[in-house]
Amino acid sequence: MKRRDFLKAVSVTTASFVMGGCLELQNMPLETKLPKRPNIVLIMSDDMGYSDIGCYGGEINTPNLDKLAAGGVRMTRFYNTARCCPTRASLLTGLYPHQTGVGHMMKDRGQDGYRGDLNNNCVTIAEVLKQAGYATYMAGKWHVTKHNKVDGPKFNWPLHRGFDRFYGTIHGAGSYWEPSSLVRDDTMITVPTDKEYQPKEAYYYTDAISDNASRFINEHDAAKPFFMYVAYTAAHWPMHARERDIAKYKGKYDKGYEAIRKRRLAKMKSLGVVKPDAEMSEQAGDWSKVEDKKWEAACMEVYAAMVDSMDEGIGRIVKSLKDKGLFENTIIFYLQDNGGCAEGAGRGGKPNPRKDKPSFEPVPPEQQLYFGSVPKQTRDGWEVRRGHVMPGPADTFIGYGKNWANVSNTPFREYKHWVHEGGISTPLIVSWPAGIKTRGRLRHQPGHLIDIMATCIDAAGANYPKEYKGKHIKPMEGKSLLPALVKDKPVQREAIFWEHEGNRAIRMGKWKLVAKGRKGRWELYDIEADRSELHDLADAQPGRVKQMADVWEAYAKRTNVIPWPGKKKKK
């Protein structure tokens, strides 16, 4: 779709939608002209549940996100892919993750859908918008390539996939006090040797992402529009946060899991992000049986502090936009990469107190402290402790655990990894004061990460390529959400699909078919009436199960989900 056509009207009919995210505007009434090409800021957090932020039901203090929601719209049925790497690949490209080569994590598992690197048959939003005249920036977590070493290949690092500037990490997880695989532009650096960013107080990665994103805005030449991707690691394990932020939540979680879940669900119903008759999924964990309640509550206190810090950083990014007079014509998206994380992440084991003195020699400033997710030591030599340790400081490394993840995913079933609603449901906040005139509205149409590329292209007046750098590019899978966001028009599509680690799902209209593992039985839910997936209708409707399973199977073959890893393709 050409930008000049899109500017003619916002009101569109449902028949306007075609696969690939484009619009055909025929005989449309002239209603509202949109402003000039907007800036676009795409913000994503990590390992957070649907109900964590305030405007979706949470008790965590997120005033900046809440304010964006109050001034824009919230989608209540938006979906990710249940895991970090596939979500990032899908978000960046507008394709299902297996089509990009990132159907699982950063390892080549022997099939084209599972190579662990973005392939050359996809393009990123940055590559498309850069060709349309946009400046392109990124701050935060990349995690769509296996190559994260100093002397390794860089062909899939951000500057080689369309970004003009980059500050962040190539790898997926690590210490917030000194992250691994830290890169500025195209050069790997360390926290102490970064000449361009030395904060006055102790380095903290969430703050660094926010501050560098703000810097990109402050230094941007406003004569051209920009696209910026801000990918926080908050609130992925380890539970690391500043003491001042943790202090805000002292005692907040002393009543335990069930009390917080009930409070959240009541708020969610009052906000309208779930239906008034929404049911609560099964409770994980019995607070009365928790032996060390102080430690268990502290894990959630630190988690909340991590989210709080991210929200403060988003506030600084918004302030930078306002200071440059860019906020009104900037589309800001906020979403999450998967549901709350039930992974143990080092929680097991006995209490592990700090020793009297460092166990290791200090690591020189110019040397990488570690590669991968878990450091053995801090830079000044202290052993990094796992197990039953109070979370927060740099020498600890644990997660908040399954029971708190169950709270994060209120009221839904399951977690990160699984494609039940708890694993794939995310908030989507969209703010665009110059383009979205309604304020604080909810949008209940289903949407998926694949739709973000199409939406950005429509807003920017860009063209999605059939070829790029001599390579055939797969057609977009998503649809533009602009008509839904601006005018609350329905999004017409046949289905939305999922697969991760054999966990499978398809949503067609109000029906969702979902299964655990490659050999798990299909479950069928009327997702409009039963989004908590508590009333399986598979036995009552075998015909619908077969029909939807056949559609999923065709998708799986078309998009490189199958053949499964470890099986050879038939010639």
Known catalytic residues? Answer: 84, 143
Instruction: Spell out the alpha helix ranges (H) of 148-239.
Output: 205-219
Asked whether 162 and 133 are in contact (CB, 8 A), the reply is: no
CA distance 133 to 53: 34
390: tokens are 């109070």
DSSP letters for 230-291: EE--TTSSS-B--HHHHHTTTTTTTT-HHHHHHHHHHHHHHHTSS-TTPPP-PPP--GGG-S
Written as one letter, the residue type at 116 is G
Give the contacts of 82 (CB within 8 A, at least 6 positions apart).
Answer: 338, 339, 416, 417, 418, 419, 423, 424, 498, 500, 503
Calpha distance 533→130 (Å, rounded):
42
* C-alpha to C-alpha distance for 173 and 180, rounded to whole angstroms: 8
Q: How many CB atoms lie within 10 A of CB 30?
A: 9
Tokens found for residue 439: 């304020």
CB 410 within 8 A of CB 471: no
What contacts 208, CB < 8 A, 6 or more positions away? 167, 197, 199
In one-letter notation, the amino acid at residue 166 is F
Contact call for residues 478 and 448 (beta carbons, < 8 A): yes
Count of CB atoms situated within 10 Å of the CB of 463 = 14
Structure tokens at 469: 């750098």
CB-based contact 221:164 (threshold 8 Å)? no
What distance in Å separates the CA atoms of residue 406 and residue 195, rounded to the nearest whole number? 42
CA distance 186 to 354: 37
Q: Which of 299, 408, 291 is nearest to 347 (CA)?
A: 299
Helix (H) or strand (E) holding 321: helix 293-323
Separation CA 450–CA 466 (nearest Å)? 17
Task: Please name the amino acid found at residue 118.
Answer: L
d(CA 528, CA 96): 24
Structural contact between residues 125 and 214, judged by C-beta atoms closer than 8 angstroms:
no
8 A C-beta contact, residue 408 and residue 402: no
Tokens 């056509």 belong to 5
Cα–Cα dist 85/421, whole Å: 18
